[in-house]
Chains A and B, each alone.
Chain A
Amino acid sequence: AQTVTQSQPEMSVQEAETVTLSCTYDTSESDYYLFWYKQPPSRQMILVIRQEAYKQQNATENRFSVNFQKAAKSFSLKISDSQLGDAAMYFCAYSHPNFGNEKLTFGTGTRLTIIP
């Protein structure tokens, strides 16, 4: 079974600084996808960024980027120029292509606080 581990229950960062959230996973599959989801106080799950395992290039979405280390099974999220609106729970998630069942396995989350 696949597992996803987030070892940082809470993180804080000064506004405009950079922060990195850690995630490790375990799988025996070679083809899979990794995601970072953001859950603000509204509790709506919002996709931040996704990475396909077959791609060597790290995904980037504006201020958000990942460091994907496939051999180490590590998938960290870097947030640059942190903004107050970035304050939220962040969940790392894994999914394996399985036609009709792309269920997600989630980590336990990291609560990110932005210090003004």
Chain B
Amino acid sequence: EVQLLESGGTLVQPGGSLRLSCAVSGLTFSAYAMTWVRQAPGKGLEWVSTITSRHGGDTFYADSVRGRFTISRDNSQNTLYLQMNSLRAEDTGFYYCATTIIRYFADNWGQGTLVTVSS
């Protein structure tokens, strides 16, 4: 059974930093590109970032997070990361990780981790 487990979400002050993790099991992690998607309270889904399958792979970011967030992966630990710096109130929400298949369709999803940016 494929499982994705996000962690690291918490309350953080504006301007602060946080690192989210996504532990993946049940598949060959190194073969999959990975994606982060978020949902602000009362809003819809928003794509955040994607990384291709190889360690240190190509990365893609939403304009709203480029320069502040960094996606990375450790294929030896089957873990995806999202380093979030200079956090803003509008970064508040649930963050989901997902494995992606052809043309980056997100097929397996985690349950999400909640990030709250507030003073």
A binds B: no
Q: Which residues of B contact A (CB under 8 A)?
A: none
Q: Which residues of A contact B (CB under 8 A)?
A: none
